[in-house]
Amino acid sequence: MRLTRYQRRHLDAMVCLRGKAPGVWSIATYRPLSWLPILAICGVSVCFCLFVDPYWGMFLVGMTVGAALRIFANARFSAMAWPVTEAVTDWDKVDALRRSDEGGPPALGAAGPAPGSSPRVTS
């Protein structure tokens, strides 16, 4: 089975967190480079606030802070659910998927049926 880049990163993160009790900070900062766009937008927002229009600048700063808070909320929920996720995960299958990533068709989640759709049954 060929995994998508997102699926590969997700499995790598799961293996990295295996056997630990991850906290909100460790989950939110697992990939620190993913914070660069938010930091860049925040920097532009502050410059906009200082040099162009303070009202629009503060609006942009508020939007950026809201996005960061949402990321931390998702990390908090992931940390709370991690013990259950770890308990029900078949780690042998995770390892097998990571090893067999060299060839084959993409994983079903990448190009599978749309969510909520059901197979058509004809009689």
Q: What is the distance between the alpha carbons of residues 27 and 14, in angstroms, rounded to a whole number?
A: 10
Q: What is the pLDDT of residues 9-40, one digit of tens each?
A: 888 888 888 888 888 888 888 888 888 888 88
d(Cα 83, Cα 22) in Å, to the nearest integer?
9
The predicted pLDDT at position 102 comes to 58
Give 108 or 3, the one with higher predicted confidence: 3
Using CA atoms, how far apart are residues 100 and 102, in angstroms rounded to an integer? 6
pTM: 0.63
Q: DSSP string spanning 88-102?
A: H--HHHHHHHHHTTT
pLDDT at 113 over 70: no
- Reading the block at residue 113, the tokens are 């049926």
Does residue 107 have a pLDDT over 80? no
Q: What are the tens digits of pLDDT across the range 46-105?
A: 888 888 888 888 888 888 889 889 989 999 998 999 999 888 988 899 888 888 865 544
- DSSP code, position 100: T
- How many CB atoms are closer than 10 A to CB 101? 15
